[in-house]
Amino acid sequence: RGAAGHGALDPAFFDLEALHRIRQEYQRLPRPPFDDETRLRGPAAESVAALRRDGIVRLPGFVPPVTLRRLRRDSARWLLRMRLARLLRPQGIRKAHYDSREYWRPTHRAYVTNDALAESPALGRLCQDPVLLETAGFYLQKPFHVKRIYAMHYRPAPAMAGQQFGWHHDMEDRQLKIMVLLTDIGPGDQPMSYVRGSHRTFRSYEHFLRNELDFESEAGQAGPPEVLDTFGAAGDVFLFDSNGMHRGNRSRGRARSALFVELTADANPGNVWGTRARDVPLDDVAPDGRHPLALFLAVTPKWELAKERPKRKRPTWAESLETPAAWLGRSAAPSAPPSTIWQRVLAAPDHTGANLATHLEGTASFLRAWGQPDHLERAGRYHAVCGNPSGREPICGLDSPELAAEIGDEAAQLVRLWSRLERASLSRALHTYQAGDEPVVLRASDGEPLPVGRRQYLELAHLYAANEAELLARQPARRLRENVEGLLPILGPEAAAQLLAPRSGV
């Protein structure tokens, strides 16, 4: 940092165009464990090679027949409900804003839901398919997570131009989309078109803010363009880099239904849409110790955060550009590989109505989304392994050296404090923290004093808030605990907003 406290990538030193270029380069730097390509074999290796070359790959018949039947059945049920709603309250389901949970868009003759996982639980299993996750990890080359899961049903319509039906990119520099066809699409129907190789284009900051692209000038940069129309059968899957040039096509052919899953390595919490879905089983599928669905399941859905939201001036990817700490090092920080401790976590009894791993991953995901330090995120992922005052059996002892070896000394110290902490003492000691005194004296569950530094106190407060946020996300009828509410004045704005967001069932 400089004498004024500015970091090396502070906007005081770099204009937005330079930061944008640095970020694009950074997004392409591989991080563990996805930098070891000796681990990449079989179907995933073939798909990664095709994605790097073309930006898109087709996986014919990828969805098993039983799963496809479930997905199509759930889609038909959702469409029937939407059609009935459209008849009974036609204005009520028209598009209010892009973040709406579901809507009918009459100008496009399209039904859309941004909560497809809640409509079809079978999607949860597909999102954890090992081949898809391995392909995504080694293509993005960073720890990644699910950003959005949605479904679109297009009725037959005349040809259209502009917006998604004109050539465009998605204003997300490194994003991989999974498109699952629920209907057959052939010539004369409504395929998506994609320009092979266009995903490799570096776009300027100003150009990035405009997602519309000129086909002739863009595609001609690397020779004659090769356009792929995504024809296929129900059950086929397409993976594509949405930075590439693509468009939808409308015709009076057959209706088109498809499911989409967006995967990203960008940790900007405004990018994660969330879901109403609950009790989604999580497999132990994450090669880096994080589950790609954990953050998606934990956050409050976008459509519930505010009924009225101002129109965004810039896409969320660009909104975080001025805060490099939000995208440099934290979203891509490698976490510990699966370990003996984590194997015991996976085998542990359920915790507050969910398996323990789900609760721990969700807590860590909130801390990451709130921009908390890496060691605090690691503490969140392991915060219950030493037991707690309510009597939960410890997975490892307070003095176990394997904990510090696994997550580092700072994180291990926080886990040990948490395991002994009387939670109510955090709010009782708030006045000491606010007065600037040090140490802040907390209480252990056995009544012993626990003196901590001001930074540790603030980190324990955020750990308590993230623990509470995960419980609130899974238990809609639950109310915010008074002890946590009392800490709101010292929490970061993202944490406070999450805890105070309106929730269904309350």
Is the separation of the CB atoms in 432 and 443 below 8 Å? no
**pLDDT number for residue 330:** 45
Q: Tell whether the model's pLDDT for residue 339 goes beyond 60.
A: no
CA distance 277 to 101: 12
Alpha helices in 36-177 (DSSP H): 42-54, 65-88, 116-119, 122-126, 130-140
How far apart CA 326 and CA 313 sit, in angstroms, is 19
Higher pLDDT: 201 or 215? It is 201
Query: Hey, what amino acid is at 346?
Result: L
Residue 332: pLDDT band with limits 50, 70, 90 = very low
- CA-based torsion, 202, 207, 212, 218: positive or negative: negative
Please compute Rg for the chain using Cα positions: 24
- Tell me which of 123-127, 327-331, 485-489 is least confident: 327-331
Please state, in angstroms and rounded to a whole number, the distance separating the CA atoms of residues 250 and 244.
Answer: 20
pLDDT of residue 310: 47
Neighbouring CB atoms inside 10 A of 137's CB total 25
Tokens of 489: 């004045």
Measured distance CA(54)–CA(490) in Å, rounded: 49
Q: What is the mean predicted confidence (pLDDT) over 5-20?
A: 66
Supply the pLDDT for residue 3.
41
Q: What pLDDT, in 10s, does the model give residues 380-413?
A: 999 998 887 666 678 888 888 888 888 889 999 9
Q: 446 to each of 169, 363, 416, 419, 432, how far by Cα in Å?
A: 58, 25, 14, 12, 21
As a 3-state breakdown, the chain gives helix, strand, coil percent values, each rounded to 5, of 40, 15, 45
Interval 239-268 mean pLDDT? 90
CB 380 within 8 A of CB 366: yes
Residue 258: pLDDT over 90: yes
Percent residues over pLDDT 90 in the chain: 41
Give CA–CA dist 131/109, Å, rounded.
Answer: 34
Average pLDDT of the segment spanning 91-113: 82
What would the pLDDT profile of 120-150 be if each residue is shown by its tens digit? Answer: 989 999 999 999 999 999 999 988 889 999 9
Strand 145-154 with 237-241, pairing: unpaired
Q: Enumerate the domain spans of the chain.
A: 16-271, 335-500
Indicate the pTM of the whole model.
0.66
Look at 51 and 301; give whichever has higher pLDDT.
Answer: 51
Residue-wise burial string across 343-370, b where 16 or more C-beta atoms lie within 10 A, e elsewhere:
eebeebeebeebbbbbbbbbbbbbbbbb
Rounded Cα distance, 469 and 448, in Å = 28
Please state the φ and ψ torsions of residue 381, each to the nearest 5 degrees.
-70, -20
Sheet-wide strand order for 192-195? 227-229, 192-195, 246-248
Mean pLDDT of the chain: 83
What is the structure's pLDDT at 205?
80
289 pLDDT higher than 50:
yes
**Checking phi first, is residue 447 left (phi over 0); if not, alpha (psi -120 to 50) or beta?**
left
Provide the pLDDT for residue 358: 77
Pick the CATH number of 16-271 from 3.60.15.10, 2.60.120.620, 3.40.50.360, 1.10.10.920: 2.60.120.620
The pLDDT of residue 495 is above 80: yes
Q: DSSP assignment of 472-491, as one string?
A: HHH-TT----HHHHTTGGGS
329 against 317, higher pLDDT: 317
Closest CA to 121 of 257, 271, 276, 298: 276
Give pLDDT, residue 405: 85
Read off the DSSP letter of residue 334. P
In this structure, the number of other CB atoms found within 10 A of the CB of residue 401 comes to: 10
Closest by alpha carbon to 58, among 67, 47, 49, 69? Answer: 47
Confidence grade of residue 178 (pLDDT, cut at 50, 70, 90): very high
> 335-500 has which CATH code?
1.10.3210
Residue 333 contacts residue 265 (beta carbons within 8 Å): no
Judged against a pLDDT cut of 60, whether residue 2 lies above it is answered with no
